[in-house]
């Protein structure tokens, strides 16, 4: 097995860099012919992945690292396989694949894993693996990405929510689902290729990585008090019981607004509305636990 690891040494407050020598030993001990490189800046993993020529490209870091590596592979038209060793502030794509959260345990599973085809989403040409969205979700991502990554993904996301609540107001938008238009007073829209984001929030419970469709959670004009009540329920899926929250699905979703709301993809801030979300069925091969 020819593999190339792309390590984000800063991921998880330096956790990825610290544990990598032991994870490397696990992969090489299993007979992998392994090379490696380390990221040095935002976007570097995308460039490194696009240039990689190994059978398997292993993203070592959080969801942001996996996001960049997948974008490099897909944009470069690489036929290779993506492997994940989760070691960042958030590991929601690894969770969706059934990989352990502990990076060394994930490395052990990876060497016995099997290739699996999965869908990816895209928003304005940027691929995403977990959830992309706009509105409150995007504004929180923009804020959190400006902070040092010294705490767990969920903790940082909750802190971002609490800070953003002081200033954010729902916005009038147009949402077009497979050509059918509707007007919304929007708090947020979260478009899921998989179900989890923000370090374990079960935001879009219906989303699956292999069903060929996007599932969207749309939240109407939640008040601050309602948002605080909904937040803890997002870890169990009980937030769907709120009358201002619903799930829907589509192959293509357009969102436009006169207000330039921020867009996030896999927790990365990528610009502002308008947004076009699309699905790419079985576009990526990943290593996932057998069975």
Output the pLDDT for position 189. Answer: 97
Output the pLDDT for position 152. Answer: 57
pLDDT in tens, 124-157: 999 999 999 999 989 988 888 777 765 655 677 7
Domains and CATH numbers, the chain: 2-112 (3.40.50.10330), 128-281 (2.60.200.40)
CA-closest candidate to residue 172, choices 162, 164, 182: 182
Alpha helix segments (H runs only) across 80-237: 92-97, 103-110, 136-144, 153-164, 224-230
Structure tokens at 144: 């959190």
All residues at 6 or more sequence positions from 243 whose CB lies less than 8 Å from its CB, including other chains = none
Output the pLDDT for position 46. Answer: 96
Output the pLDDT for position 142. Answer: 84
Output the pLDDT for position 149. Answer: 65
Structure tokens at 243: 């009358």
Output the pLDDT for position 266. Answer: 95
All residues at 6 or more sequence positions from 240 whose CB lies less than 8 Å from its CB, including other chains = 205, 217, 246, 247
CA 100 vs CA 84, 112, 198, 210, 267: distances in Å: 10, 13, 17, 20, 20
Per-residue confidence in pLDDT tens, the chain, 291 aa = 899 999 999 888 888 999 999 999 999 999 999 999 999 999 999 999 999 989 999 999 999 999 999 999 998 777 789 999 999 877 899 999 999 999 999 999 999 999 999 999 999 999 999 999 999 989 988 888 777 765 655 677 778 888 888 889 999 999 999 999 999 999 999 999 999 998 889 999 999 999 999 999 999 999 999 999 998 999 999 999 999 999 999 999 999 999 999 999 998 999 999 999 999 999 999 999 976
SS3 88: coil
Question: How many Å apart are CA 9 and CA 15, to the nearest integer?
Answer: 7
**Helix and strand tally (H, E) in the chain?**
8, 16
């Amino acid at each position: 097995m020819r593999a190339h690891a792309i390590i984000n040494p800063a991921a998880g407050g330096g956790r990825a860099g610290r544990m990598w020598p032991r994870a490397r030993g696990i992969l090489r001990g299993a007979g992998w012919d392994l090379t490696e490189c380390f990221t040095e800046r935002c976007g570097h993993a995308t460039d490194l992945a696009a240039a990689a020529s190994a059978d398997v490209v292993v993203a070592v870091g959080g969801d942001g690292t996996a996001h960049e590596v997948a974008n490099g592979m897909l944009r470069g038209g690489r036929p290779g396989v993506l492997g994940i060793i989760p070691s960042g502030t958030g590991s929601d794509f690894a969770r969706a694949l059934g990989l352990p959260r502990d990076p060394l345990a994930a490395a052990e599973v990876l060497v016995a894993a099997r290739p699996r085809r999965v869908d990816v989403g895209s928003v304005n040409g940027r691929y995403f693996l977990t959830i992309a969205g706009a509105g409150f979700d995007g504004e929180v991502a923009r804020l959190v990405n400006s902070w040092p990554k010294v705490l767990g993904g969920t903790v940082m996301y909750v802190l971002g929510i609490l800070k953003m609540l002081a200033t954010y107001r729902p916005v009038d938008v147009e949402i077009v689902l497979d050509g059918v238009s509707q007007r919304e007073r929007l708090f947020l829209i979260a478009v899921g290729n998989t179900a989890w984001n923000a370090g374990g929030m079960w935001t879009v419970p219906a989303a699956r990585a292999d069903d060929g469709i996007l599932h969207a959670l749309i939240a109407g004009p939640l008040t601050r008090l309602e948002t605080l009540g909904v937040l803890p329920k997002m870890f169990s899926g009980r937030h769907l019981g709120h009358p201002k929250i619903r799930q829907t699905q589509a192959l293509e979703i357009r969102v436009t607004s006169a207000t330039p709301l921020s867009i996030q993809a896999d927790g990365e801030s990528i610009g502002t509305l308008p947004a076009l979300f699309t699905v790419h069925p079985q576009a990526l091969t990943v290593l996932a636990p057998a069975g």
